[in-house]
């Protein structure tokens, strides 16, 4: 299935505080499960998402460095929390607080990833959105994607260093 070209809109989608968006992927980030909440908010049918890369819902406003950090953590077998701006099939966007964890088999081997996403606090979105905008612009200003990613990761490290906190502490402070 070819991936649709979607144009972002300025419309934000909100979902209920007790809704939990759930998805699972294989080790390469290919969607193997999406719950009804995910499908309803993102505006896709199950057949449109299963077998597709999870970045199907990636909003272009998101800095690549945030996803690089996320992948680094889960591939190392650790959980991570992150604020993420996603994009629905309509082009509308929605913010989530994502909790991504490795999924393990009976022997403890990582076999995929599991993500639960909840409605974020609005003050957290207000704090993280301008930071993400700055990081994304730094990434885009570089001559190559590799240099852009390095610039974005460097900006995250500098921000955390200025605050004197770890990434996890920063996320939970918002």
Residue with tokens 């994502």: 98
pLDDT, tens digit (0-9, with 9 covering 90-100), for 3-25: 568 999 999 999 999 999 999 99
Write out pLDDT tens, residues 18-75: 999 999 999 999 999 999 999 999 999 999 999 999 999 999 999 999 999 999 999 9
Q: Any idea of the CA torsion for 40, 27, 60, 159, to the nearest 10 degrees? A: 120
Name the pairing type of β-strands 93-104 and 80-87: antiparallel
Which residue(s) pair with 86 in the sheet?
A: 58, 94
Residue 139 CA, chain-centre distance (Å), reads 17
Summarize pLDDT for 127-160 with one digit per residue, the tens: 999 999 999 999 999 999 999 999 999 999 999 9
φ/ψ of 105, rounded to 5, equals -85, -175
| Domains in the chain: ranges and CATH | 21-173 (3.30.450.20)
CA distance 89 to 107: 38
């Amino acid at each position: 299935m070819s991936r649709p070209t979607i144009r972002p809109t300025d419309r934000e989608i909100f979902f209920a505080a007790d809704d939990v968006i759930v998805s699972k992927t294989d080790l390469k980030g290919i969607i193997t499960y999406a719950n009804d909440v995910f499908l309803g908010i993102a505006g896709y049918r199950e057949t449109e998402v299963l077998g597709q890369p999870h970045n199907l819902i990636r909003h272009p406003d998101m800095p690549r460095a945030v996803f690089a950090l996320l992948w680094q953590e889960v591939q190392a077998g650790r959980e991570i929390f992150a604020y993420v701006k996603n994009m629905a099939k309509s082009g509308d966007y929605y913010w989530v607080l994502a909790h991504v964890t490795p999924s393990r088999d009976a022997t403890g081997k990582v076999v995929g990833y599991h993500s639960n996403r909840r409605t974020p606090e609005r003050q957290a979105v207000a704090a993280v959105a301008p930071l993400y905008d700055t990081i994304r612009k730094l990434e885009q200003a570089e001559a190559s994607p590799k240099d852009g990613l390095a610039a974005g990761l460097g900006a995250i490290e500098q921000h955390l260093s200025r605050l004197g906190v770890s990434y996890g502490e920063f996320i939970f402070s918002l």
